[in-house]
Amino acid sequence: MQLYCPSLTQYKRLKTLEVKIGDLLLGNFNPIRIQTMTTTNTMDTMATVEQSIRCIEAGAELVRITAPSKNEAENLLNIKNELRKRGYTTPLVADIHFTPNAAEIAARIVEKVRVNPGNYVDKKKFEQIDYTDAEYAEEIDRIRERFTPLVKICKEYGTAMRIGTNHGSLSDRIMSRYGDTANGMVESAMEFLRIARNESYHNIILSMKSSNPQVMVQAYRLLVQTMDKEFGNCYPLHLGVTEAGDGEDGRIKSAIGIGALLEDGIGDTIRVSLTEDPEFEIPVCKDLVKRYNEREKKTADQTAIPAIEKIPYSPFSYARRESFEVSNMGKKHVPVVIADFMQAATIGRHDLQAIGYTYNEATDKWNISDGAADYIYTGNKKIDFALPGTLKVICDYETWMDAPDKTTWLPLYQGASYLLHNERSAVLNFVSVDANSSDASEILQKIRKDDTVVLCLWSSHAHTMPSVRRYIMELMNQNIKCPVILAVESHDDNIDDQLIHFSAEAGALFLDGMGDGIWLMNDPSKLVNAQVSGRTYLETKSNHQFINNTSFSILQATRTRISKTEYISCPSCGRTLFDLQETTAKIRAVTNHLKGVKIAIMGCIVNGPGEMADADFGYVGSGPGKITLYKGKEMLTVI
């Protein structure tokens, strides 16, 4: 084990214990299982059955249903019977918060129960209590007393269990001792896991969800390391970014968090939580999982990425890689966005609208949006109009030689060719390097003292992200501080896969503090496929707009550059008493100008206030026809 996974350079899945959920095997190298959760009222048997069937037919291998009280838990039997009668044997999971009674009923009916250790026994009062060690131990005894009966029932009935920690609903006890941290999340699950192990019950899966992919990834890594140290083995892991939202942003956020872990072989089952109908989560899960189905095979005959001897950063906490400043890149600058126009036939003023610059002919002025690209790459093309002041041009070296203005136009060199050319910019030179090329290390040595170089880093290796990460670690180990632009190319043949690819590849690195800029590339002809795919979540009018929006959304989701309002909306479930999708759309329409503000839209008062974690404002369903508004954690009013 290399810190938290089998290998940081070679694709290998983490070995976990095998768990049986009905007839479904999970963990221990079984395929990564796909799951979702219904949004219907659990007391509405037929609606829940119909929705479960839609999910199963879309490909869900597990279906979770909320059981907030005894009544819903009991009705799971009717739902299960109806599904079985119609020939669907997919295991069902009861989702439990706060109510041990409901859990104990459900565990006798369905194949798996999910408990949230933050609220299974504890009522959350958001109180800061200073527990002495003796008081803390007493609390654990209290939990043991309340939790053990459920463990015994699960053992007797062969029911599996997920101990599902949520960043936003840690107990007051955990918050008081560990704070709102990845460490607190891990300890929260470990307390319950130790109790279950004492009863020799091992049919357990764990999760560490957060709406912030950075916290989520750190918590899973820490959990793997903690289990390995304490038990010498790991229980299977259910991955998810909670309250990811909807549309493009929800998919990007999920792909970043889940993808970052799958890249390192971590994860036995996934759920993509979207504020959309649950069956729409399944294709996103499939797109994510299929990236890794062939990874081992695809990398088998490639040159091995050199092993990592020393990891120069902590994978359990965020720190940005130290870099020097070159123009508006590196050091404390937010990551820049590069728009790739190499394949554009021509470039006119109105083409720049797709990357955030709208030209007003009457005033001869540019309107610049918060999501405006910082650089445009033109390849060997020239631009024959005056550019907005905040946009600079990157072009190939030969074109740059004839450029009219060498402060706005900057050269791009391909790898070692940088060393052969005498003519260079005095302030800024982009050097494109393939981390997988044989001369990559040599280039490093040559540019190490050049304070005008910005690396545009990519990799031709099939295990791409780890190959780029390995190169950046080498920069860190050798104290080479030039800024690094993450250049990611997608060869996927549809826009859905491209979105997942960009998010997982670039997002994983930004989460670890690597990257001073983003440069996404694709084949623009693939946009056609998106228009016939039948999905409506992407309102992209052109490939350049798609790429530009995706770049800014990846930076937003990794919290490295904030350019828009952030929405934290739960996927809704049987507890929700209003139309969450419609309400989210309405709130978005009137607040989407509030750059940097985090707005939570949560379906229920029981879970919502806790789970909206670090939102600035909250809109929470608190009863039939009732909504409670929050400012941070402070309740403002009920309407």
Give the residue carrying structure tokens 């009935």. 157
How far apart CA 58 and CA 52 sit, in angstroms, is 10
Q: Is 600 in the site for ligand SF4 (CB under 6 A)?
A: no
- Taking CB under 6 A as the criterion, the residue among 80, 173, 575, 598 binding ligand SF4 is 575
Q: Is 622 in the site for ligand SF4 (CB under 6 A)?
A: no
Question: How far apart are the two ends of the chain, measured CA to CA in Å?
Answer: 53
Q: Answer yes or no: are the C-beta atoms of 341 and 347 closer than 8 Å.
A: yes
Query: Torsion over CA of 600, 591, 594 and 349, rounded to 10 degrees?
Result: 130
Torsion sign over Cα 308, 310, 315, 319: negative
Q: Is 607 in the site for ligand SF4 (CB under 6 A)?
A: yes
Q: Is 608 in the site for ligand SF4 (CB under 6 A)?
A: yes
Q: Helix (H) and strand (E) counts for the chain?
A: 19, 25
Residue 54 beta carbon to ligand SF4: minimum distance, rounded to whole angstroms: 18
A 10 A CB-CB count for 419 gives 13
- Taking CB under 6 A as the criterion, the residue among 455, 604, 613, 627 binding ligand SF4 is 604
Indicate the residue whose CB is closest to ligand SF4: 603
Q: Is 411 in the site for ligand SF4 (CB under 6 A)?
A: no
Q: Between 335 and 574, name the residue whose CB sits nearer to ligand SF4.
A: 574
How far apart CA 448 and CA 575 sit, in angstroms, is 57
Q: Between 168 and 515, name the residue whose CB sits nearer to ligand SF4.
A: 168
- Taking CB under 6 A as the criterion, the residue among 52, 576, 583, 628 binding ligand SF4 is 576
Residue 239 beta carbon to ligand SF4: minimum distance, rounded to whole angstroms: 17
Q: Between 517 and 608, name the residue whose CB sits nearer to ligand SF4.
A: 608
Residue 540: both structure tokens together: 């992209």
* Ramachandran assignment for 164, one of left (phi > 0), alpha (psi -120 to 50 degrees), beta (any other): beta
Q: Answer yes or no: are the C-beta atoms of 273 and 288 closer than 8 Å.
A: no
Give the residue carrying structure tokens 């403002």. 636
How far apart CA 338 and CA 399 sit, in angstroms, is 18
Residue 608's alpha-carbon distances to 114, 290, 389, 576, 626, in angstroms, are 17, 33, 44, 10, 14
Query: Torsion over CA of 298, 300, 302 and 304, rounded to 10 degrees?
Result: 130
Q: Is 110 in the site for ligand SF4 (CB under 6 A)?
A: no
Residue 67 beta carbon to ligand SF4: minimum distance, rounded to whole angstroms: 11
Residue 169 beta carbon to ligand SF4: minimum distance, rounded to whole angstroms: 9
Burial class (CB in 10 A: 0-12, 13-18, 19+), 350: exposed
Residue 618 beta carbon to ligand SF4: minimum distance, rounded to whole angstroms: 11
Please choose, out of 127-135, 375-383, 457-465, 605-613, the segment that lies near ligand SF4 by the rule CB under 6 A: 605-613
State the binding string over 88-107 for ligand SF4 (x if CB under 6 A, else -). Answer: --------------------
Residue 277 beta carbon to ligand SF4: minimum distance, rounded to whole angstroms: 14
Residue 274 beta carbon to ligand SF4: minimum distance, rounded to whole angstroms: 11
Q: Between 253 and 463, name the residue whose CB sits nearer to ligand SF4.
A: 253
Residue 608 beta carbon to ligand SF4: minimum distance, rounded to whole angstroms: 5
Q: Between 209 and 321, name the residue whose CB sits nearer to ligand SF4.
A: 209
Total of chain residues touching ligand SF4, rule CB under 6 A: 12
Q: Between 102 and 573, name the residue whose CB sits nearer to ligand SF4.
A: 573
Window 257 to 296, contacts with ligand SF4 (CB under 6 A): none
The DSSP bridge partners found for residue 434 are: 458
Window 553 to 572, contacts with ligand SF4 (CB under 6 A): 570-572
Residue 126's alpha-carbon distances to 234, 599, 628, in angstroms, are 31, 20, 17
State CA 52 to chain mean position distance. Answer: 25
Residue 1 beta carbon to ligand SF4: minimum distance, rounded to whole angstroms: 33
Q: Between 24 and 612, name the residue whose CB sits nearer to ligand SF4.
A: 612
Q: Is 488 in the site for ligand SF4 (CB under 6 A)?
A: no
Please choose, out of 21-29, 279-287, 317-325, 600-608, the segment that lies near ligand SF4 by the rule CB under 6 A: 600-608
Q: Between 434 and 611, name the residue whose CB sits nearer to ligand SF4.
A: 611
Q: Is 573 in the site for ligand SF4 (CB under 6 A)?
A: yes
A 10 A CB-CB count for 422 gives 4
Residue 602 beta carbon to ligand SF4: minimum distance, rounded to whole angstroms: 5
Residue 348's alpha-carbon distances to 352, 359, 383, 545, 551, in angstroms, are 7, 10, 8, 15, 22
Q: Is 521 in the site for ligand SF4 (CB under 6 A)?
A: no
Q: Between 94 and 354, name the residue whose CB sits nearer to ligand SF4.
A: 94
Q: Is 602 in the site for ligand SF4 (CB under 6 A)?
A: yes
Give the residue carrying structure tokens 């609606």. 47
- How much of the chain is in helix, strand and coil states, percent to nearest 5? 40, 20, 40
Residue 570 beta carbon to ligand SF4: minimum distance, rounded to whole angstroms: 3
- Taking CB under 6 A as the criterion, the residue among 122, 249, 276, 611 binding ligand SF4 is 611
Q: Answer yes or no: are the C-beta atoms of 259 and 277 closer than 8 Å.
A: no
Q: Is 65 in the site for ligand SF4 (CB under 6 A)?
A: no
Q: Is 19 in the site for ligand SF4 (CB under 6 A)?
A: no
Binding site for ligand SF4 (CB under 6 A): 570-573, 575-576, 602-604, 607-608, 611
